[in-house]
Chains A and B, each alone.
Chain A
Amino acid sequence: MNRRNFAIASAAVALSLAFAEAPQAQEPIKFGMVAHLSGPLAGGEAVTHLPNVQLWVEEVNGRGGLMVDGKRRPVEIVQYDDKTNPAEHIKAVQRLASQDEVDFMIAPYGTGFNIAAAPIYARYKYPLVAVTAITDEIHELTAKFPNMFFTLGSTSGFVEGVTNTLKTLQSKGVIGDKIAMVNVADAFGIELAGVAREKFKEAGFNIVYDKSYPLGTPDLSPVMKGAKAAAPDAFVAWSYPPDSFALTEQAIIEDLDVKAFYTAVATAFPAYGGKFGNAIEGNLGAGGVNPNTDAMKAYRKRHQDVTGKAPDYWASATYYSALQVLEQAIEGVGKVDRAAVTEHIKNNAFETVIGTIRFDKHNNSERYWSVGQWRGGQFVAVADTGMGDSVAPVAKKGWK
């Protein structure tokens, strides 16, 4: 009995982590967050989510907090690690909802985690403004979980972006119709490759090399050698972070001569540009932003100043925007009332660092950049859905 009582007591005294020291005159509004501080997705979390949360808390508390009930209340983050394990994730969300009794939640990193957490958010009426969740099941999911919102697009939208980019390059005579395509043999990679096989063919492309490799393959040189032997005009890899880096490295070694080179996740990371420097000039990848709007410029500068790191060129700004949506909705309602905040998100437009966000009747924001290209040290959007401000793609110049 003693041990059990001890466990109950200790579980109740859960570790909470406040990022910023705020004037504690008012009781803080608590935001729950389950992060992947370790495990396979910890890298993405650390680049795309954590710095933005830090930045947002600092900015909001710098103003004295969120305006509710006619006064400003500071925000406080209660954070747990789930070790990138869905079972642990569910337990931690549950703990936040019923033990810590947080007022709101911040969306987790990764499609699977957003979906796994959705039912608990729904039960406790937390609005879930998901960002790093890309799926073709948006309509089904939001019908089931009406408090769930999507901001970063669908699988098909991403493949269409790539198809359109290649089509544009083809019409300019930059590339021919031969595509070498590889994919990581894991959920997201398989799904994208499946959609791409159809869309590329519909668009009149010829897939001359189609190969997959298991998740975590240490040596990708056979894959790249095979692709090179097929003499393609364009190379497309539906890849995860480690293999995006490894494939680029192999392409440099093999001196793969293509005028369009696409790797999916992590191409938008500052570390990608930092590692390869000029060699990746003209490389294509998932994401991209319009770095030239005033809002985006100001955001990138603040991110750098506050966190000491540059944001990535894809989901970072969208994630920050999702926090802004939550913030504006809470202040719009003027109360800590989760159901009312969810309604407010459904029915209003929000000014964010990526522009105006408005959700359609399926809780989906059809405004996102889908393909980016490295140009002079920045990863600029060259394809989008609903944004309308991406620039035309250009040919990749060699690797040297």
Chain B
Amino acid sequence: MPDILRGGAVLLAVLAVAALPLLTDGYWLSIAVTIMMYTALSTSWALFSGPTHYIALSTGAFYGIGGYLVATGMSDFGTSFWSMMAIAPFVAALLAGAIGIATLRLSGVYFVIFTLGLAEMIRNLVSWVQNNFLGSKGLYVLTELEERHIYWMLLVVTLAVFLFGWRLGRSRMGFALRILGNDEEVARHVGIDTARTKVLLFMTTGFFAALVGAIVAPRYYYIEPNVVFSPELSFLVVIMALLGGTRRLYGPLLGVIPFTLLWEVVSASFPSATTMVLGLAFLLIVYLIPDGVTGLIGKLRKRSVP
């Protein structure tokens, strides 16, 4: 019975969120698109980085691939937005697989550095291909899609991420992942194929990041490689996920909403201080709430029960 109730509540909440564009189509919708986008990105990021503790700064790279493939497909090859949107995540997932096989044996800090460089490497590769083979007439993404359509598509992706995460938590693979996160050595000894598990999860985050990048591309109309492969995005995703906490599926959501609003206030009122705020937020989160908002709530709950 409680399960049905809970399911009903979730359904109602989703419907309420989906109805938002009917209430507002201006400023708050653009904020909502940002929140939805970062929720999908942070949650899928946390699915991999939460249990494995690999801090991946590659979100920007995969997101960029999504946006860029849509743009080049539509401008250089005359394909439709929909087919490029369908292809892009698979390309990113394959790439993530290749990168994962090559790098997930690297431990901790080496992996972080590699993923940080990845966006820059792909940006240069893309520029090189454009310069030598495609030429460029400016990459235009001209569609009939409006902000609310983008919002709804992002909502579907976010729901898919949550559904995937929920299924994962109840699967053998999710169990394997938790053991792996606690102690990789133990995991290997009990017969878990740790490399395969990590690579598969990394591919999933790449898949979703590229899908989000592809969906958001029509919002910008004009794509330049040095703009879509932004390192800032990778950092924002990490900070938001850590702020919310990565132990629970809904954790990143609790980080994304306050941080997006804070970021909005800061960019509106203190335009020259945004980078500083980003750095301070990072420090404060790591020092004060290492388990994020969800971790904090859990701790407070425990304390209140004698």
Contacts and interface: CB of A to CB of B under 8 A. Distances in A.
Nearest to B260: A7
B189 interface: no
- Which of B136, B139, B274 has the most CB atoms of chain A within a 10 A radius of its CB? B136
29 contacts: A3-B258, A4-B258, A7-B264, A7-B265, A10-B268, A14-B268, A15-B268, A15-B269, A81-B272, A83-B271, A83-B274, A85-B227, A87-B34, A95-B27, A97-B26, A97-B27, A98-B27, A112-B227, A115-B222, A116-B221, A137-B137, A185-B131, A187-B136, A187-B138, A187-B139, A194-B137, A214-B127, A215-B127, A215-B226
Contacts of A87: 34, 219-220
A88 B230 CA distance: 12
B83 interface: no
Contacts of B225: 186-187
A118 B221 contact: yes
A137 B261 contact: no
Interface string A50-94: 000000000000000000000000000000110101111011101
Interface in A321-378: none
A119 B27 CA distance: 14
B124 interface: yes
B48 interface: no
Contacts of A140: 140, 142
Nearest to A15: B269
Contacts of B171: none
A38 B142 CA distance: 28
B232 interface: yes
B11 to A, nearest CB: 23
A188 B226 CA distance: 12
Contact of A112 (B124, B137, B224, B264): B224
Nearest to B227: A86
A7 B262 contact: yes
Interface string B220-264: 111111110010100000000000000000000000011001101
Given A14-B269, A137-B137, A188-B138, 7 more contacts: A4-B258, A10-B265, A15-B271, A90-B220, A91-B31, A118-B221, A186-B225
Give the interface residue-count category, chain B. 35 or more
Interface in A150-189: 183, 185-188
Contacts of A111: 138, 222
Nearest to B221: A115
Given A185-B127, A215-B127, A80 B142 contact: no
Contact of B267 (A88, A94, A97, A112): A88
Contact of B140 (A11, A137, A212): A137
User: Secondary structure of the A side of the interface?
Assistant: helix
A83 B271 CA distance: 8
Nearest to A112: B222
A190 interface: yes
Nearest to A119: B221
B144 to A, nearest CB: 10
A40 to B, nearest CB: 8
Nearest to A98: B26
A207 to B, nearest CB: 15
Contact of B232 (A85, A135, A183): A85
